[in-house]
Structure 1
Amino acid sequence: MKKLIIASVLMGAAATVTAGDIIESDSAAINQGIKEGTQVRMEGEIVQSLGDERYLLRDRKGQIEIELDDKLTADRPLKAGTRVNFTGEVEHDDGRSVVEVDKIHSLKGAVNTSSASTISN
């Protein structure tokens, strides 16, 4: 009976982490080796633009580079301090981890976009 309860708890925990093949993640987990191609949901704050649709994002665990098509922000570059919530795909490129953003769920802060919008590519 004890094993059944433990198994149920573990299965429930796994179910909350993976919803529709998208996992809640953070920069530390991605940098430590989440498999390339994994769909992740993240949130954080833009630290700076790196040019060519790339940004440095800071979350609760560190920093990671994201690639964000200008179409997802209505061709407006994001400024430092903009808070974003998004889903994207993990890529490992030349020894660094990058999240290629597929869909923005919300933008708050230094960009003139609705704070509750969903924009997809």
Structure 2
Amino acid sequence: MKKIIFASILISAAATVSAGDVIDSDSAAINQGIREGTQVRMEGEIVQSLGDERYLLRDRKGQIEIELDDKLTADRPLKSGTQVSFTGEVEHDDGRSVVEVDKIRSIKGAVGTSSTSIISN
């Protein structure tokens, strides 16, 4: 019994994210309740622009809205089909989950001409 309790404590400690850490995540985990303010790293495909610096992103687990300041893309909107990798902060607003993007990198279908380019640093 002591081994089970000890193992549970170790698993809980390993799953805890300290402030400032960036965790690999996906849309399903965020929509199921990753805490607001958590820094996440994700990748996926832009499905569509939602206007006002917002995009719908599809990853391997579903879809999520991301908010992307125009200055991160040099004022060029991302096109549907663009594959991106990014870090950002989870926000929960009016019952929906959003990731506010801090840094983004295009993987494929970039706004530029190369297949891999840094959009922001």
TM range (shorter): 0.7 to 0.9
Residues 10 and 113 of structure 1: CA distance in aligned 2, closer, same or farther (over 3 Å): farther
1:24 aligns with: 24
Whole-angstrom distance in 2 between the partners of 1:113 and 1:44: 19
1:52 aligns with: 52
Per the normalisation by structure 2, the TM-score is 0.81
User: For this pair of structures, how many residues does the alignment match?
Assistant: 118
Cα distance, 1:14 vs. partner? 4.8
Whole-angstrom distance in 2 between the partners of 1:109 and 1:102: 20
1:96 aligns with: 96
In structure 1, the residue corresponding to 2:77 is in which secondary structure? Answer: coil
Whole-angstrom distance in 1 between the partners of 2:110 and 2:45: 10
Within 5 Å, which residues of 2 pair with 1:1-121? 10=11, 14=15, 21-112=21-112, 114=114, 115-117=116-118, 119-120=120-121
Percent identity over paired residues: 80
Unaligned runs of 5+ in 2: none
Could you list the structure 1 runs, at least 4 aligned residues long, displaced by more than 4 angstroms after superposition: none
Unaligned runs of 5+ in 1: none
Residues 21 and 79 of structure 1: CA distance in aligned 2, closer, same or farther (over 3 Å): same
In structure 2, the residue corresponding to 1:64 is in which secondary structure? Answer: strand
- 2:28 partner letter: A
Whole-angstrom distance in 2 between the partners of 1:51 and 1:10: 41
CA deviation string 1:17-73 (max 9, x = no partner): 88x600000000000000000000000000000000000000000000000111111
Whole-angstrom distance in 1 between the partners of 2:50 and 2:110: 16
